[in-house]
């Protein structure tokens, strides 16, 4: 017998320019599904589930909710929380108390692991549920899926930012290092390489964490390009380090998943360039959180796919599918064609997709044709017209759901 009850969605990890499109896609699809009675948003992801902080998304004005499709960041809040056994048990108690039979968790590999753990617990309980992971990460490091919603827009912004930085660098003839997000996977940094179409175009050098190069090679690379072009723009991942050396870190602090805070690459590489005597001054920039929230650079492809995976999650859950993650399957590069698919959560949970070595050039300081073919369709399409004034985005009315359980112990 098909399940009938309420649905709940949570947003997790770093927000993106298109994560709200996924939420809107799920809610709008659910309105036409008979088995879904109410649709709740968990404020701040899993933490909202644990605290029973839920808002009724079906009570939002449909036009107001639809406008959130173009709003960056996470409208219902996000979280970075590594769940313990008591968290999973509490989540199941909340689902039972609120008659939640469908749960969607929108995030990266850590979030998909959380989703899988909840699914496993539900299977061993007396509370039948359909639990589906929905992909999201600007890092693009989820396995199985061709790429992840959020990546295309972040790549578009990062690639454009490098081009703008290059023009500024040319004005004074200084080397310039641009730090791009990417701890272990350099997809976002590699994507900036599509801006180099002709000889001498920036970025002149691209370095990703998957393939460390020696300090000596880095100095040789920069010196060669600076002498040839009178400038040298370097794009480097925040997780990049020289072979045999430690990461560039700005803090010893870690998050709940044990990830160190990175962010010293741009300054560190600039210092190396100056100390090598290549130039008296090397400029540097860290793109920071703008990579994941600069909605004016959103890709039309990315926005469309983000909305589609949300709809697909709701539809598949209504059919009884569970313990799976929605995927994007590429059918062709030119013309670009794709469709939604599905894979088991266990196949993606806590896994990391790295940039293939063969997609880089011989010296691992730039990209190859395969990377260019992969990235270009994902950054196409203009979503927003540059109208006068600043953007104004709607906010949820937040119709809170009545709590059924006593408060849980604080998460640690």
- Residue ranges of alpha helices (H) inside 294-367 are 300-318
User: How far apart (Å, rounded) are the C-alpha atoms in residues 96 and 191?
Assistant: 44
Q: Are 89 and 332 in contact (CB under 8 A)?
A: no
The number of CA neighbours under 13 Å toward the Cβ of 380 is: 12
User: What residues contact 262, with CB distance under 8 A and at least 6 apart?
Assistant: 183, 238, 239, 247, 248, 249, 250
Q: 């808002």: which residue's tokens?
A: 55
Q: Tokens in use for 293? A: 């929230």
Listed in order, strand segments (DSSP E) in 13-99 are 36-42, 54-56
Q: Tokens in use for 362? A: 């011989």
Q: Is 285 a catalytic residue?
A: no
How many CB atoms within 10 Å of residue 176? 28
User: How far apart (Å, rounded) are the C-alpha atoms in residues 195 and 156?
Assistant: 10
User: What residues contact 53, with CB distance under 8 A and at least 6 apart?
Assistant: 42, 43, 44, 47, 400
Q: Which of 53, 110, 139, 323 is catalytic?
A: 139
Q: Tokens in use for 377? A: 């369709």
Q: Which residues are catalytic?
A: 139
């Amino acid at each position: 017998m098909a399940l009938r009850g309420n649905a709940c969605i949570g947003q997790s990890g770093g927000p993106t320019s298109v994560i709200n499109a996924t939420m809107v896609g799920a809610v709008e699809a659910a309105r036409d599904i008979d088995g879904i009675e109410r649709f709740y948003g968990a404020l701040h992801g899993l933490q909202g589930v644990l605290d029973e902080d839920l808002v009724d998304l079906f009570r939002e004005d449909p036009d107001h909710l639809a406008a959130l499709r173009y709003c960056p960041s996470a409208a219902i809040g996000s979280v970075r929380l590594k769940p313990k056994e008591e968290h999973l048990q509490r989540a199941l108690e909340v689902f039972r108390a609120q008659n939640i039979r469908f749960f969607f968790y929108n995030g990266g590999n850590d979030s998909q692991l959380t989703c899988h753990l909840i699914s496993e617990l539900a299977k061993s309980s007396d509370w039948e549920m359909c639990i589906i992971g929905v992909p999201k990460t600007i890092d693009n490091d989820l396995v199985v899926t061709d790429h992840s919603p959020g990546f295309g827009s972040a790549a578009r912004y990062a690639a454009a930012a490098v081009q703008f930085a290059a023009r500024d660098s040319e004005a004074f003839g200084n080397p310039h290092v641009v730090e791009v997000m990417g701890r272990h996977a350099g997809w976002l940094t590699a994507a900036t390489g599509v801006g180099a179409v002709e000889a001498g175009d920036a970025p002149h050098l691209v370095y990703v964490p998957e393939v460390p190069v020696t300090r000596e090679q880095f100095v040789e690379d920069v010196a060669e390009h600076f002498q040839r072009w009178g400038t040298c723009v370097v794009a480097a991942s925040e997780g990049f380090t020289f072979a045999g050396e430690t990461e560039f870190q700005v803090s010893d602090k870690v998050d709940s998943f044990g990830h160190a805070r990175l962010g010293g690459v741009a300054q560190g590489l600039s210092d190396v360039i100056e100390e090598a005597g290549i130039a008296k001054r090397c400029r540097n920039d860290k793109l920071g959180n703008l990579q994941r929230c600069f909605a004016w650079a959103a890709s039309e492809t990315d926005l469309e796919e983000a909305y589609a995976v949300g709809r697909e999650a709701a539809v598949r859950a209504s059919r009884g599918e569970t313990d799976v993650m929605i995927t994007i399957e590429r059918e062709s590069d030119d013309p670009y064609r794709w469709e939604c698919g599905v894979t088991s959560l266990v196949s993606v949970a806590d896994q990391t997709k790295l940039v293939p070595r063969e997609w880089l050039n011989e010296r691992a300081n730039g990209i190859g044709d395969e990377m260019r073919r992969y990235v270009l369709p994902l950054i196409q399409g203009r979503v927003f017209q540059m109208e006068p004034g600043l953007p104004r985005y709607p906010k949820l009315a937040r119709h809170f759901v009545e709590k059924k359980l006593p408060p849980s112990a604080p998460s640690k």
